[in-house]
Amino acid sequence: MHVDIDSFYASVEENRNPLLKGKPVVICVYSGRKEDSGAVSTSNYKARELGIKAGMPIIIAKRIAKDKDVIFLPVDMEYYREVSERIMDLMEEESDIMEQVSIDEAYLDITKISNSDWDKAIEIAKKIKEKIYSQEDLTVSIGISTNKFVAKMASDFKKPNGLTIVKEEDIKKFLDNFPVSKLHGIGNKTTTVLNEIGIQTAKDLGEFDQKELEEIFGKNKAKLLHDKALGIDDTAVKPREKKQLSRIGTLKKDTNDNDEIIEKIIELAKDLENRIKKNKVSFRTISLITIDTELKTQTKSETIPQTNDIQRVISIPKDLLEKYLKENPDKKLRRVGIRISNLEFSKTQKTLDDF
């Protein structure tokens, strides 16, 4: 199964501010050189209808949006990562193995839990959709097939909120009419060369003489291309190695009271402790994440010798908080978080279950 969140950053921003609902929303990475220099990171489907798309210069997007009620917002990576991590955790629980491939997509091996049964697989997909919708108010598009490549093509097939199943016997029919440029992993340069030799669709590519393809692209790449055309992929879903673990929470009220914030930090640390144990992980860096009432995020970190001592996940953020409050006497916090990074996973460490 391949799962991809629909218009991820834009949807998250819509949920955070209900006033945006129904409006075209554009999320931007401002380069900071000049006002409006930078690129569009993503846009919601309303904005895409106007022609505003990811990768476009902000200046062009603003030109298109002129005289229209289009909302432009800067990216807030810290916040998106937090949402992403919750969704990844949720999906990991619903699969045998989960491989995260970007902030908003993952491959899920569901061979065992579905018992290789298509109806059961569809049930799992629907359950994942429902959970993500009820817990995060986000929709996802899902593709299911017998390998990663076709599952990815299938999740892209119907968006937003799609669910596409491509059974083994339907793979060829499903892929045949795709232009080669739309096959995942085939870029612009390769497409140009393929078009030059008369290959337009996956069907063309699949039927093209293998030897001739090898002469142009070399043995390895020719095989790769041929496999894509036929929907062959035997790469495994690899379990993710997380780079960091974090928890962020909203304070009961906006505050700069040391004790109130520490109370929250302790609560978050408990949650993190469970995940540290579950992942059998040790860490080197501990961070305090602060989000003030103007939604400005700051991160303060300290690096120590590798440890799995959960006490440090409370004591270090305490020190960092003291520092933050000293440096920012006029600010109140809305949200606070803790994060551990520079992780090491002890793979050999056996649990009782393993004996």
Of 2, 3, 7, 138, which lies in the binding site for ligand DCP, with binding defined by CB under 6 A? 7
User: How far is Cα of residue 19 from the mean position of the Cα atoms in its chain?
Assistant: 25
- The answer to whether 145 contacts ligand DCP (rule: CB under 6 A) is no
Q: Dig out the tokens for 209 from the structure.
A: 């003489």
Strand order in 105-109's β-sheet? 97-102, 105-109, 2-5, 140-144, 163-165
- The answer to whether 104 contacts Ca ion (rule: CB under 5 A) is yes
User: Shortest Cβ distance from residue 101 to Ca ion (Å)?
Assistant: 8
In the chain, DSSP assigns E strands to 2-5, 25-30, 38-43, 71-74, 97-102, 105-109, 140-144, 163-165, 244-255, 281-292, 297-307, 333-341, 344-345
- The answer to whether 160 contacts ligand DCP (rule: CB under 6 A) is yes
- The answer to whether 4 contacts ligand DCP (rule: CB under 6 A) is yes
Q: Show the 3-state SS of 69-124.
A: CCEEEECCHHHHHHHHHHHHHHHHHCCCEEEEEECCEEEEECCCCCCCCHHHHHHH
Q: Which residues pair with 42 in a beta bridge?
A: 27
Stretch that binds ligand DCP, among 1-9, 242-250, 304-312, 347-355 (CB under 6 A): 1-9
- The answer to whether 172 contacts ligand DCP (rule: CB under 6 A) is no
- The answer to whether 60 contacts ligand DCP (rule: CB under 6 A) is no
- The answer to whether 239 contacts ligand DCP (rule: CB under 6 A) is no
Q: In this complex, which beta carbon is closest to ligand DCP, that of residue 7 or of residue 95?
A: 7
Q: Residue 281: which of 253, 237, 313, 320 has the closest Cα?
A: 313
Q: Which residues pair with 247 in a beta bridge?
A: 338
Choose the catalytic residue: 14, 82, 105, 136: 105
Site residue total, Ca ion (CB under 5 A):
5
**Catalytic: 105?**
yes
- The answer to whether 76 contacts Ca ion (rule: CB under 5 A) is no
CB 61 within 8 A of CB 51: no
Of 16, 81, 159, 280, which lies in the binding site for ligand DCP, with binding defined by CB under 6 A? 159
What does 331 bind: Ca ion, ligand DCP, none (CB cut-off 5 to 8 Å by kind)? none
User: Shortest Cβ distance from residue 228 to ligand DCP (Å)?
Assistant: 19
Residues that bind ligand DCP (CB under 6 A): 4-9, 41-42, 54-55, 103-104, 159-160
The catalytic residue positions are: 105
Chain positions contacting Ca ion, by CB under 5 A: 4-5, 8, 104-105
